[in-house]
Structure 1
Amino acid sequence: MPSMPDPSHIVAQLTLQLTSFLGTSTASIWVWLIIGYAAMVAVLATYAASISLSSRNAQQRAQTYRVLKHILGKTTGLIGIALRLHETGLI
């Protein structure tokens, strides 16, 4: 039976590939943070949308729609702020 690879070795290899692709190790930290944030927003938005679409209760649909609106609104606002900071050279 083949042995399973060590997860820390896999993470180290992925980090090494991202670092060599981006050129610096601090850039890979930003990439991981952005990927993690995007994944979290995608999971939350998908869950809220599925509850909103499948619920038969009008009050629950309204609440999940409001949660979805807040998630997507805050995300686009943060992306806009990050782009402004990047344009000014602060990031």
Structure 2
Amino acid sequence: GITRSLSRKGCPYDNAVVESTYKSVKVEFVHQYQFETLAQLRLELFDYVHWWNYLRLHGTLAYETPIQIRQQRLAKRILDNERGSDTSGEAA
């Protein structure tokens, strides 16, 4: 199942990855546009999330995209499963 995780008040380091992501979204997206309608916001946000996942290079991912990393991990899991050893550390 899903477990809710909360940081302590005033302590962004409890969940540094999420805080860093929020900062990037604010700087690269939120503060760059003025949305006239909710529909425009939704459309622009959809485009931004697609760009973030498929095109934006992430320094913490060795300057690859999240999709590239995901594909590499899935390929490794498939090879590991074919060899009979799952060393990915992820639940199947």
Q: TM-score, normalised by structure 2?
A: 0.29
Q: Which has the higher contact order (CA 8 A, sep 6+)?
A: 1
Q: TM-score, normalised by structure 1?
A: 0.29
Larger radius of gyration: 1
